[in-house]
Every structure is written in C-alpha cells, then in structure tokens.
Amino acid sequence: MLKLFKFLITGILFGIVMTKSEAISWFRIQEMFRFQSFHMYGIIFTAVAIGLLGVQIIKRFNVRDIGGNPIIFNPKDMSIPRYLIGGTIFGLGWAMTGACPGPMFVNFGYGYGMMVLIIIGALAGTLMYGVLRKRLPH
Amino acid sequence: MIDFLIKPWPWHFSGLVIGLIMMVLLFFGKSFGFSANLRTICTIAGGDKIADFFKFDWKKQTWNLVFLGGAVLGGFIANQFLSDGSIVAISENTIADLAALGISAPTEIQPTEIFSWDFATSFKGILFLIIGGFLVGFGARYAGGCTSGHAISGLSDLQLPSLIAVVGFFIGGLLMTYLILPLIL
C-alpha cells in the first residue's frame, strides 16, 4: 500500500498542475491550435527541456531508480504510418474535446461530470483499436 | 506563497512541475504515459476476451491507475481549495474566433456551450462528446501514446517516433479546428 501511496501523491500533483496551468481547458487547446498564445507551447517546451536535461543526466551518470534498478529507456519501434495516422486521429479528438486522456479525468474531478461521456468514448476507442489492430497499418 | 498557488500558474512554473513529475516517475521506476490506463481499464472490464491486445498482466499497471485516481483528486482539490475564481485569460483573437463559431467568452474553465448538462444530454451533445472521446482513445492507442507518453516522455528522450506522433497530433488538431469544428459546432 505504502508503495502505491507515492503514486497517489504524484497523481494529485499532476491533477493540480494540469488545472492550475489551465491545460485542462478546451479554450486553451483551441488557443494553442490557433497559434494565438505561447501559453501551451511554453508549458510543453519547459516540461520537455526539464525532461531532456533529466534523461541526459540519468544516461550519463547511470542513475538508478528508487529500487536500485537501472533506469532503462526503451526506444519505440520505428514506423511512419502508425504514428502519423494514429497521431492525426488523436489530434482530431484532442481539438474537438479539448481533452487528452489525463485532462479527461482531471476535469471529472474538477466537477465536470459530463466528462464521463468523453471517457466512455475514449474507452470504446481503445477497445476498437484492440479489435482492429491486426488489420491496421503499423 | 498561497497567493501564488491560488492564482493561475504561469507556463514556466507549470512546465517545470510537469517535467519534474515525469522525472519523479522515472525515479520510481515507471514511465509517464497516461493513456495506458485506458487499455488497462478495458482489460479489467473483460476486453481480454475480445482481443489479444488486452491480454497482459494489468496488475503491473496498478501504479498508473493509482496515479489516475490521484489526478481526479487533484482536479477536485485545485478547484475547491486552490482557486481564486480567475477566468481563463485566453487571447482576444481566440475569443473573437470562437465567438464566430457560437462559443462565448470564458466564464469558467470550460465553454458552457459544450460542457453543460443541457448540451451533454442532447442528442447532438452526446454524439459530440462520445465521438470526440472515441477519436482520442483510438488515436492514442494506435499512435502508442498520448501527450504525456509522446510529447513529454518521448520528446525528452529524443525519440523520432514521438516527434512523428506529435506532428500527427497537430495535423489532426488543425483539421478539426479549422475545417470540422466550424461545420459541427
């Protein structure tokens, strides 16, 4: 239980930062896709900058995780259709609902009960991908 | 301090916290990727009887489900205890563009025309929200990750597949914003 508790705290922090940064707002996502503010780009660029630095430090100094195991980065399999088509479908939904998977749940906690419909849709979409997977170009 | 926390957080502080969350998860021996939870939930709900894709040891993803629970709680806490009632300060240009689509300027964090029970219980509203969610769920799994897995984790590790996925996110996002939303809103 205690092992899982730290993920609860990290998740709470994630929900708070997504809300306070307004990244859970449909308005902010529209503003981003219309290139009318630096706000969302600033958030993503800063997070990636921290990540780049951190990943390099981990790799250079062979930093180990809390359990003493090496931190391994698995390279993703290369493909163009998979990431381009999948990404495009994701982008259509992201701009429509203003919510990527994390924010759907953060918004629900915030008090937007109708997010359940988006979550049901997302689960149905995931299920459909699982069923069609072998027939899709990867 | 409290004053700073209850105001909307500036992008640099927000980005810093999100970057640190990713680093903390790596230190905990996990990889930041939220949409994996959707697959896990499908498996728990019995999806493994429908498709092999859902046959995996979902218990290894328990930490991520706990993270999801935390995210829900975090949204609640931010709204109840860390809010000064500020209105989302989007640009005047966005407000004008959205007005042309029939979406009024922000009065809360989400547009009332889309995230109200009136809309969410109408035939059009139910279809809009479920189809939108469907595209996110299907696309995230097809692309092998969402904003956290590709745009944050993947780009931080300079993975080309993640860059291609992010380009896809924008192709889809721009198509929806400029071509489809004007037709369906």
ipTM of this predicted structure: 0.97
Q: Which residues of A touch B104 (CB under 8 A)?
A: none
Q: Do B74 and A12 touch (CB under 8 A)?
A: yes
What was the pLDDT predicted at B161? 97
What was the pLDDT predicted at A43? 98
Domain boundary among B83, B103, B125: B83
Q: Which residues pair with A64 in a beta bridge?
A: A70
Domain boundary among B83, B98, B127: B83
Task: Summarize the confidence of residues B10-34 as an average pLDDT.
Answer: 97
Give the total number of structural domains in chain B. Answer: 2
What was the pLDDT predicted at B2? 84
Per the CB < 8 A criterion, the answer to whether B71 and A18 are in contact is yes
Q: Is B102 domain-assigned?
A: no
Q: Is B177 domain-assigned?
A: yes
Q: Is B169 domain-assigned?
A: yes
What was the pLDDT predicted at B160? 97
Categorize the per-residue pLDDT at B1 as very low, low, confident or very high, splitting at 50, 70 and 90.
Answer: confident
Q: Which residues neighbour B56 within 8 Å (Cβ) at sequence distance 6 or greater?
A: B43
> Which amino acid, residue A95?
A
Closest CA to B72 of A108, A116, A75, A120: A108
Cα Rg of chain B (Å, integer): 19
Both B130 and B74 in one domain: the answer is no
What was the pLDDT predicted at A1? 75
Q: Which among A43, A50, A101 has the least Cβ separation from residue B136? A: A101
Token pair listed for A20:
């306070």
A119/chain B closest Cα distance in angstroms: 6
- CB proximity B87 to A under 8 Å: no
Task: Summarize the confidence of residues A19-32 as an average pLDDT.
Answer: 98
Task: Summarize the confidence of residues B9-15 as an average pLDDT.
Answer: 98
Both B78 and B136 in one domain: the answer is no
Domain of A113, in residue numbers: 2-135
Q: Which among B28, B47, B166 has the least Cβ separation from residue A87? A: B166
Q: Which residues of B touch A126 (CB under 8 A)?
A: 35, 38-39, 42, 137-138, 140-141
What was the pLDDT predicted at A57? 96
pLDDT tens figures, A56-70: 999 999 999 999 999
Domain of B133, in residue numbers: 116-185
Task: Summarize the confidence of residues B166-173 as an average pLDDT.
Answer: 98
Measured between CA atoms, the residue of chain B closest to residue A129 is B138
Using the predicted structure, report yes or no on whether residue B165 has a pLDDT greater than 90.
yes
- CB proximity B44 to A under 8 Å: no
pLDDT tens figures, B46-78: 999 999 999 999 999 999 999 999 999 999 999
Helix and strand totals (H; E) in chain B: 10, 0
- Tell me how far apart the alpha carbons of residues B63 and B160 are, in angstroms, rounded to a whole number: 27
Task: Summarize the confidence of residues B113-136 as an average pLDDT.
Answer: 98
Per the CB < 8 A criterion, the answer to whether B115 and A116 are in contact is no
Mean pLDDT of chain A: 97
Place of tokens 């931010």: B78
Task: Summarize the confidence of residues A88-116 as an average pLDDT.
Answer: 98
